Structures are given as structure tokens and as C-alpha cells.
Amino acid sequence: MDPQRRGLLAAFGASALLTLFPAAAGAAGRAGAAADTRLLLVLLRGGLDGLHWLPPYADPAYARLRAAAAVEEPIRIDGLFGLHPAMTRTAAMYRAGQALPVVAIAPPYRARSHFDAQDCLENGTARPGGARDGWLGRCVGALPAGESGLAVAAVMPLALRGNARASNWWPPLPKAVDPQLLQLLRPLYAADPRLDETFERSTRFAEQARAGAGVFDLAEAMRVAGERMGVDGGPRIGFVEDSGWDSHRNQAPQLARKLAELDRGLAAARDGFGAAWSRTVVAVVTEFGRTAQINGTGGTDHGTGAMALLCGGAVRGGRIAGDWPGLGPNQLNEGRDLRTTTDLRALFKALAGEHLGVPERVLETGLFPDSRAIAPLSGWRAT
């Protein structure tokens, strides 16, 4: 370790609570919320190990907890944190000031069920089942008429349920539908109050056929989201999801593959957004973190504090954000995993409010009920 880095480490101290967000600057940023901004939420289901994709390589506790499973040769983007070596494109974005990792952030849910944690993250409340629609869906409802949301997913995700202006898309079956059949079906669906609107909206997919060549993976889904959202009048809110992030055993090769896919996806999204990238935030989140210590099978088990990542031209990146609680024995949650210092809703509120222009009162009542005590994050946005 070179002396400079050692100095930095000493300055951080093993127990210091590191505040990297500037003191809340109030809601002044709201006025700057440009119209026509774009938000793409990327949900990595399964609980991505934050200590693996954003390893605090310079923290001696990290090396001790992870031992042989510590990330080798991380890309050193900061005196304490590095990016996983598979994330070269993301590192370039970071250096260009367009990527902002957020440490120790998670939904308010503190138990260890994937499904409850995802439910909570998507429904926007403090508990699973706290709402039957999603905060992104309600967010679409809060946008001016004519603006819409799009999930690139086979099944409409909970996050984007709740508003008729949100839809989902997935590569279609090859066969075109006979217009005559649609004519016959129209009156039947019109008479079904539960499906009439769904049917009318479904028929619009006819024009959106896309050759389903190759594997439709996370990177491809992010490219499609960018392409759809980047055009004039495109959806302002997007959602992409991916599974396979649950890493109970031998996680190094698994995550190397998955993180490379995410890295390609971020670059593909940027290319897809094109000129709209400067008005875009891509937010990568996961439902919780994992145990700090490597488990008996080269993996990690369900934990609490996770990491998030904001990318895009609308992001003031090139820094690490969030309060770092440390990895010392007394600093870990229940002695086993990273403590959560930021409620994910603080990030979501900032994105919905500052970036998309949803009024504060709607944030607190409609989007994130009972979140008044949680101040939106500030200082994350490029001006």
C-alpha cells in the first residue's frame, strides 16, 4: 500500500461515520428539474453483494472478512472503494463524472426474504404488501397527461403497476395477428370490464414488433429501454429487471459474469438513449445486501445494507455517495452484514422529485406514504 493511500485510510478511520453527501441543501434543486428528463430503474433481483461489485479494498476488515474471496485487482476509483474489474465501461463513466455509487443503502425492510424486500422496494412503502401497486406506476400517474412508462419485462413488474399509461414490452412471437380476428375480439373484450382496457392497449403492440434475434439478456433489455425512451415523446420512466444475483456459493465467477453483463448494459443504455443521455438517470438497485463475511461455500448469505449506482448525464458523479458505516465487528448489522445508513426511498424521492419534477406533497402522500421523515438525497444531480 502506498503512503498516500495509507494516509487516506487513516483519515477515514475504521470507525468513523463518513458523510459524503453534503448537508441537505433544501429543495432548491426542484426549480432546475428540466422537463423531458428520463429515469430508468434497473432492479437486480437476488440481492447483489455490494462488497463485491464496489469493494472497499483499502479497508483491512474487508480483506479479513473476504479472505481468498476478496475481489482481486479492483479498479481503484477512490481511496477506499474500487469497482469490480469486469466494470471497465462503468469505471470510464465514473471518470467522466457520470457514475455515482451510493453505499450502504437499502429499502426500510430489515428481514432477509428476497421476495418481501423486493415487494417493499417496488411498492414504495416500509413493508411488504404495503401497497398493491408500485411507486413507479404511481409516479407515471403524477406526470403530465401524455407522458408514459415502460417496463422491458415479460410480466408487468409490481414497481410499474398502478397506472394505465405504463406498459410492458418483451420480444414478441413471430406471427402477425390477423386484423379480422382483432375485429371479432374487440366487442368481446369491450364487454369485459377487467380486460377491456388491457386489450385496447395490447393492440398497440402490433406496431412495435422487433426481430427477436440473439439472446435477450440484461444488456439487450437496457439497450431497448434506452432506444424506446430516448426518442422525442418516449416514455419518461423505464424499468428493467434481471435475476440471477443471489450468490450463496462460489460467487466470484458468477458475479464476474453478471457484472460484465451489467457493465455492457450501462454502455448499451447510454448508446440507446443517444442525445437524451444528458437528461437521463439510470438507477441500478437491488433489494438488500449480503453477509459481510464469506460463507462456508465461497458465497454470501442474505444481509441488509446494499449498494446502488446512478449513471447518466444528469448525474453529478465521479464520487462515492452515502454514509459508510464501516465493517468492524461492532459496526456490522447483527454482527454479520453491512449496516444500512440510507433508506432507498430517500434516493427514490430525489429521483422522482428533483429529476422528474413530482411535487413534494405528492411524494409524501402518493408515491412514498409515511416517508415524511425521510429527506430526499441531495447533491447528486449535475447542474
Partner 1 sequence: MSASKATAANRFGLGARPGELERSGDGREILLAQLARSPAHSEFQGLPSSAATMLLEHKQLAASREARAQRKSAAGAMSADAAPAMAAQAAGAEPAADSGRDGPADRRSAALRRELREQQSREYAARFSHAAHTDAPFVERLVQFWSNHFAVSVDKGDTRLYAAPMEREAIRPHVLGRFQDMLLAVETHPAMLRYLDNAISIGDDSAVAQRAAQLRRERRGLNENLAREILELHTLGVDGGYRQDDVIELARAITGWSALNSNEAQDYGDRAPGSGFVFRARTHEPGARRVLGRDYAEGGVEQGRAVLADLARHPSTARHLSFKLARHFVADQPPKALVERMAQAYLREAGDLRAMYRAMVESDAAWSADACKFKTPNDFVISALRAGELTVDARALTGLLSRLGQPVFTPRSPAGFADTAADWSSPDGLWKRIQAAQMLAARVDGRGAAPYPRALAVLGESAVQGDFAIGLRRAGSASEGHALLFASPAFQWRA
- CB of 67 vs partner 1, minimal distance in Å: 9
The torsion region of residue 73 among left (phi > 0), alpha (psi -120 to 50) and beta comes to left
Nearest CB to partner 1, comparing residues 59 and 119? 119
What interhelical angle do 88-95 and 251-273 show, nearest 10? 50
* Smallest gap from residue 143 Cβ to partner 1 (A): 19
CB of 54 to partner 1, least distance (A): 23
Query: What span, in angstroms and rounded, lies between the C-alpha atoms of 343 and 21?
Result: 14
Closest of 319, 311, 291, 295 to residue 303, by C-alpha? 291
Neighbours of 237 (CB within 10 A): 28
Q: Are 344 and 106 in contact (CB under 8 A)?
A: yes
Instruction: Please say which residue, 101 or 134, places its beta carbon nearer to partner 1.
Output: 134
Nearer to partner 1, 166 or 259 (CB): 166
How many angstroms separate the first and last alpha carbons of the chain? Answer: 36
Q: How far is the CB of 80 from partner 1 (least distance, A)?
A: 28
The residue among 37, 367, 34 whose CA lies nearest residue 234 is 37
* Residue numbers at the binding site for partner 1 (CB under 8 A): 45-46, 68, 111-116, 128, 132, 154-156, 161, 167-173, 175, 177-178, 180-182, 184-185, 187-189, 191-192, 194-195, 198-199, 201-206, 243-244, 246, 248-249, 253, 295-299, 301-302, 334
- Give the bridge partners for 239, in sequence order: 41, 151
The span from the CA of 76 to the CA of 58, in Å, is 9
| 12 vs 216 by CB, closer to partner 1 | 216
Residues facing 249 on adjacent strands? 298
Taking the complex as a whole, the smallest distance from the CB of residue 378 to partner 1 amounts, in Å, to 35
Beta carbon of residue 246, minimum distance to partner 1 (angstroms, whole number) = 8
What are the Cα distances from residue 369, in Å, to 16, 125, 130, 223, 366?
A: 32, 6, 9, 32, 6
CB of 187 to partner 1, least distance (A): 4
Q: What is the 3-state secondary structure (H, E, C) of 62-113?
A: HHHHHHHHCCCCCEECCCCCEECCCCHHHHHHHHCCCEEEEEEEECCCCCCC
Nearer to partner 1, 204 or 361 (CB): 204
* Calpha distance 269→101 (Å, rounded): 17
Q: Which is nearer to partner 1, 56 or 238 (CB)?
A: 238
Min CB(215)–partner 1 separation in Å: 12
Select 30 or 186, whichever has its Cβ closest to partner 1: 186
Give the contacts of 47 (CB within 8 A, at least 6 positions apart).
114, 117, 245, 246, 286, 287, 288, 289, 290, 302, 303, 306
Identity of the residue, 4 or 183, whose beta carbon is nearer to partner 1 in the bound complex:
183
Nearer to partner 1, 98 or 300 (CB): 300
Minimal distance, residue 304 CB to partner 1, in Å: 12
Find out whether 209 and 255 touch, Cβ atoms under 8 Å: no
